[in-house]
Every structure is written in C-alpha cells, then in structure tokens.
C-alpha cells in the first residue's frame, strides 16, 4: 500500500479484487515470509473486524459461478464460502458423461478412484512420484478419449509433485497424447478444463512433515485443495489413496462426499469418522475423533485393484 498511498487523496477509494480462500502469490524469500509477507494483504485485511464480519460496506462478494457443474461446486461452496456460491453454468446436462461407463452415477460427475500405490523419490530429490497412479491417470484419459468426443486440450491433470508431472507427461507421450496439460496446482490457478484429473501421489503418512518443510503436497493446505477441485467444468476425477487422504479434513470430506453418492471405485475404504464429528465447515477447524466401522459399501466398490494387491505392504 506504500506506493498507492502516494496517489491517495481524501476521497480516494482503493478496491482490492481477489479470493483469499485460494492461492496467493508465491514468496521465494524465506526472510520475507518469516516477516509476514507470506500472507497476502487481502488475507490480512480479512482478519480486521469489518472485513471479518463481511460488512457490506467493506466487502462485495461475487457468488455466481459460471464454470462448474453444481455437483462439483457444492463441496467447496460449503467448506470455504458458507454455502453461498450459486452454480450458474448454462449447460449442466453433462453430455460428456452421458455415454461414459467410467462414472457409476451419470448425475454425479465427481469420481474418486482409490489406489494403494507406492510413492517413490529419486536420489536426494524431494519431489515424489507414484508410478501406479500415473498409469491409472493415463488409463482414464484413454477411456475418456475412446468413449467421448472430448479433445485432449479439454483435459487437465493436476498433481502436487514435479516428478509426478514428468512421469505422467512421459507416459502420455508414449500414447501420443501431447495436448493434455499436466501441471501443479499453481499452474492451474485461474484456468479451467472440461475434465480435471487429480493425482494425489502419496501413499504413506510418515513423510508428511518432510512435505511441509519443502512446501509440497496437498495435505494440510486448504487453499491448494480449493483450487484443485474447482478447475473442472464438467467432470472431476480424483486418483489417490483414501487411507492417506482421510488424514486431512478437507480431502476426507471429498472422499465421503463421493462414497455417499455411489461414486467411489477401487481399494477398500478406511474407517469412517463418527457422524457429527470432523471438519467444521464454517471455521475450517478439525476435531480429533474416534471411528466406527465404515458404512456398508457395495462389494463392487470394495474390489481391490491388482496393483494394490501386489503392494499390500503399503496399506
């Protein structure tokens, strides 16, 4: 605000436009981040009384969303925007999924594919990759191309690790599918695709602190979660290990959102938290809770993939 203040007069009004619930600028300087510049000015404003209370004299909300299918928009609206977002996508008939065997429910274009794979690193490189997930992502893209008239340019793949980006790109090159964009969450912010496939990569929890040190991964980063699941217009597919995903309250909400709508495929599910416990959708706070056995899930959804059976030790 220092340079702006040089132009301010008594009646000057400054308008900041943005979304403090999504990713802000990347701060490369550790010193700058340590002194508070890792938090955007807009986000700091919302810690002040009038902005925190969302006084209409200070805050104007743009709540109409013209991008996402209502089913895709529902969860981020509930978790981050107090349920105020309005789905205004003109064509919600989802012709994309009408003839597609990939989706268990044609009316619910959000699919979670559970895989208990194996996450790996090369040498001292802090970036992770998961070959089994990469193969599944390519398989899904091939099925989409065979069963629909969707173009490669309409498909995007989001993954939090650079090594996974490279592995998926290399696999797509083998199948001569060069126009599918593969990138990190930061590379997709502000963009959209008809279909978004999210590869979560991680299959063990013991390296979560390592990820936080290097600012990697999806877990424990609500803003990355929010951006990644709101890039899709018509179809969102998540490929990941449900036993790892459920360690984060936001991803756990997404997992059970899919399960409850008969849109989960893959390995056996983890235990489900007791109803009424878990994520506070208003504050984002999570509760530590005991668990009960998971709800009864159709046996067809419990089928373990061949890859998971081979890597039973990674469960």
Identify the pLDDT of residue 170. Answer: 96
Residues facing 111 on adjacent strands? 237
Cα separation, 52 vs 282, whole angstroms = 13
CATH 3.40.50.300 is the classification of domain 92-314 = yes
Whether the model pTM is above 0.85: no
DSSP 213-250: HTT-SSTT-HHHHHHHTTSEEEEEEEEE-HHHHTTSHH
Cα separation, 188 vs 36, whole angstroms = 25
Cα separation, 48 vs 102, whole angstroms = 47
Neighbours of 65 (CB within 10 A): 18
Domain boundaries, the chain: 2-52, 92-314
Identify the pLDDT of residue 126. Answer: 81
Residues of the chain with pLDDT under 50: 277-278, 280-315
Q: CA nearest 293: which of 274, 312, 267?
A: 274
DSSP 20-59: TTS-------HHHIIIIITS-HHHHHTTSHHHHTT-TTT-
Q: CA nearest 258: which of 266, 116, 145?
A: 266
Identify the pLDDT of residue 276. Answer: 52
Helix (H/G/I), strand (E/B), else coil: 199: strand
């Amino acid at each position: 605000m220092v340079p702006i203040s040089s132009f301010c007069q008594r009646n000057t009004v400054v308008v900041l436009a943005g979304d403090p619930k999504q990713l802000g600028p990347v701060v490369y300087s550790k010193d700058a981040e340590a002194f508070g510049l890792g938090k955007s000015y807009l986000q700091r404003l919302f810690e002040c009384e009038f902005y925190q209370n969302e006084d209409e004299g200070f805050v104007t909300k743009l709540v109409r969303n013209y991008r996402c299918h209502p089913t895709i928009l529902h969860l981020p609206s509930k978790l981050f925007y107090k349920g105020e977002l309005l789905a205004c996508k003109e064509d919600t008939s989802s012709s994309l999924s009408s003839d597609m065997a990939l989706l268990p429910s044609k009316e619910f274009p959000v699919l979670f594919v559970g895989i208990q794979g194996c996450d790996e690193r090369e040498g001292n490189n802090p970036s992770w990759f998961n070959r089994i997930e990469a193969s599944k992502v390519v398989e899904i893209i091939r099925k989409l191309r065979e069963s629909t008239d969707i173009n490669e340019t309409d498909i995007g793949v989001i993954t939090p690790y650079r090594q996974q980006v490279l592995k998926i790109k290399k696999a797509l090159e083998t199948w001569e599918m060069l126009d599918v964009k593969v990138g990190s969450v930061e590379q997709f912010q502000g963009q959209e695709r008809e279909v978004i496939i999210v590869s979560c990569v991680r299959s063990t929890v013991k390296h979560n602190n390592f990820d936080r040190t290097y600012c990697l991964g999806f877990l424990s980063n609500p803003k990355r979660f929010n951006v990644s699941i709101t890039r899709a217009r018509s179809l969102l597919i998540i490929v990941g290990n449900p036993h790892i995903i459920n360690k984060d309250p936001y991803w756990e909400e997404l997992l059970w959102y899919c399960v409850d709508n008969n849109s989960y495929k893959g390995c056996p599910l983890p235990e489900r938290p007791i109803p009424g416990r878990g994520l506070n959708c208003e504050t984002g706070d999570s509760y530590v809770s005991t668990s009960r056995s998971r709800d009864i899930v159709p046996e067809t959804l419990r089928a373990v993939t061949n890859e998971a059976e081979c890597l039973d030790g990674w469960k």
